[in-house]
Amino acid sequence: MLIHVALHEPEIPQNTGNIARTCAAVGARLHLIHPLGFSTADRYLKRAGLDYWELVEVVHHESLEAFQEMFRGRQILYASTKGSVCYADVRYEEECCLVFGKETAGLPEPVLRLNREHCIRIPMRSEARSLNLSNAAAIVVFEALRQNSFRGLNVSGIL
């Protein structure tokens, strides 16, 4: 199974570092869609990812359109508080791409409108605005892995 996690214009280096660590732990590929709200040399980004950076493949894209073109014909799911489908009700394909928006604004409205049937959401209380980006990414990544029997991961533990 190959999961692609795409961050559209991320703003907080610690969130990106945490997501990179999740990607490293499960073998997912991380896509960063520019512009970024920080430098990839940022010490907070490096610290949040700890020593996992060598385990994750990071791909940079100049725009969301360039990213979408690269994934044309493959399953792309857009995570948003405005999505109409629960993330757990989607069937994740062997190779799927999960797109998350920037921390302060989420994904752009035109993207959500054009991809309405591919917009997923994580259920939460109506009083809460949203989850932390790195937590949301981990929730959806692990659901995709669960549905595919955690293929390629050590599920038995080490004794």
CA distances from 12 to 37, 74, 84, 87, 153 (A): 7, 28, 26, 24, 29
pLDDT in tens, 12-35: 999 999 999 999 999 999 999 999
> Which residue segment(s) compose the domain that 44 sits in?
2-147
Question: For the chain, what is the mean pLDDT?
Answer: 93
If one counts the domains in the chain, the total is 1
| In-domain check, residue 115 | yes
CATH, residue 55: 3.40.1280.10
| In-domain check, residue 159 | no
Is the CB of residue 112 less than 8 Å from the CB of residue 82?
yes
| In-domain check, residue 30 | yes
| In-domain check, residue 7 | yes
